[in-house]
Structure 1
Amino acid sequence: MNRTEREAAVRQIMERAVPRVPPELHADVVRRGSRMLRRRTVVRRLLWLLLCAGVVAFAVWAVTAQPWVEPPSETTPPLTDW
């Protein structure tokens, strides 16, 4: 059997058989699909919550530590009596 004969045989099989989905399979798939969507939604919300908590924690740290301010110099003593 060459390639064209195989393709013709497959086409005949596909055209002859009408695909039918068992009713219990459809209900199963709908249930699993809705479960997957709920899980995906919960995971997405948890990740957004984690991201927001990280941003808040970084903002609080930045306000308290003020990393943009230069630390005071400790190499020379302060000049007080001129």
Structure 2
Amino acid sequence: MSRLPNRRDDEVRRLLDTPHPVVPVDLAVRAMTRGRRIVRRRRVVRLVVTALVLAALAAAIVLAVLYWPDDDPATTTPNGNWWSALG
């Protein structure tokens, strides 16, 4: 079974037959520096988000403790049930 010539295959062969571009000498060093900078930035963002979530959780706990209803007998209904005042 013979294959018919494919135009894309010819284009790829032509591209690969041309001389390859010159790679800069410091490309690996620049890539490594950029990678470290990206990792450092992600780590800082993760730390800031974690700190903000923990601060929000602490604030929610403090607000819940401050505004939690008292079990004062003076503020409860006569029967002691919250639904008895409804009906």
Q: Which runs of 5+ in 1 are unaligned?
A: 73-82
Query: Distance between the aligned counterparts of 1:56 and 1:6, measured in 2?
Result: 61
SS at match of 2:26: helix
Deviation of residue 29 (structure 1)? 1.2
Partner of 1:42: 44
CA distance in structure 2 between the aligned counterparts of 1:14 and 1:71, rounded to whole angstroms? 85
Larger % of helix: which?
1
Unaligned runs of at least 5 residues, structure 2:
78-87
Q: Name segments (4+ residues, structure 1) moved above 4 Å.
A: 15-20, 67-72
Residue identity in the other structure for 2:49: L
Q: Normalization by structure 1: what TM-score?
A: 0.63
* Percent of matched pairs sharing the same residue: 33
Could you tell me how far 1:50 is from its partner in structure 2?
A: 0.2
Question: Letter of the aligned partner of 2:50 in structure 1?
Answer: W
